[in-house]
Amino acid sequence: MDLYKELLIDHWKNPRNFKRLKRATSRVKLVNPLCGDKMTLELKVENGEIADVGFSGTGCIISQAAGSLLTEEVRKLKKLDKICKIDEKEYFKILGTNVVPGRKKCALLAYQALKKALEGNGRQNT
């Protein structure tokens, strides 16, 4: 199995930041219209930085692993200004794998939820 697939499976089996936040400053719930799977992404922002981030919901390996990988990156970047600069190209680099066109909606669920959550904190997205 190639390294990237192993990474996705690891994040699916042991999702990082899979939790609900008690005092989120923004919360976004999205549904993949193709399958009905749901993802909730929450941010707790303090002084322009991520104090906490979590995601929850149900979905396929790709959507859940993407939620895990993206929230890890958000924690690592910490500053909202840097997080807002994540564009689609950068996002797929974070996922570290080529997602086949038919599964792109699965992969994008977490990304779209993050973009909306950032708007909820008064940030413009790139």
- Chain residues in the site for ligand FES (CB under 6 A): 32, 35, 37, 59-60, 62-63, 106, 109
Find out whether 67 and 39 touch, Cβ atoms under 8 Å.
yes
The residue among 7 and 77 lying less far from ligand FES, judged by its C-beta, is 7
The residue among 53 and 107 lying less far from ligand FES, judged by its C-beta, is 107
Task: Give the span between the Cα atoms of 118 and 124, in whole angstroms.
Answer: 7
Place of tokens 């959550």: 117
Closest approach of Cβ 11 to ligand FES, in Å?
Answer: 14
The residue among 32 and 40 lying less far from ligand FES, judged by its C-beta, is 32
The residue among 7 and 99 lying less far from ligand FES, judged by its C-beta, is 99
Closest approach of Cβ 109 to ligand FES, in Å?
Answer: 6
Closest approach of Cβ 94 to ligand FES, in Å?
Answer: 17
Q: 92 burial class (0-12, 13-18, 19+ CB within 10 angstroms)?
A: middle
Find out whether 86 and 114 touch, Cβ atoms under 8 Å.
yes
Structure tokens at 103: 């599964």
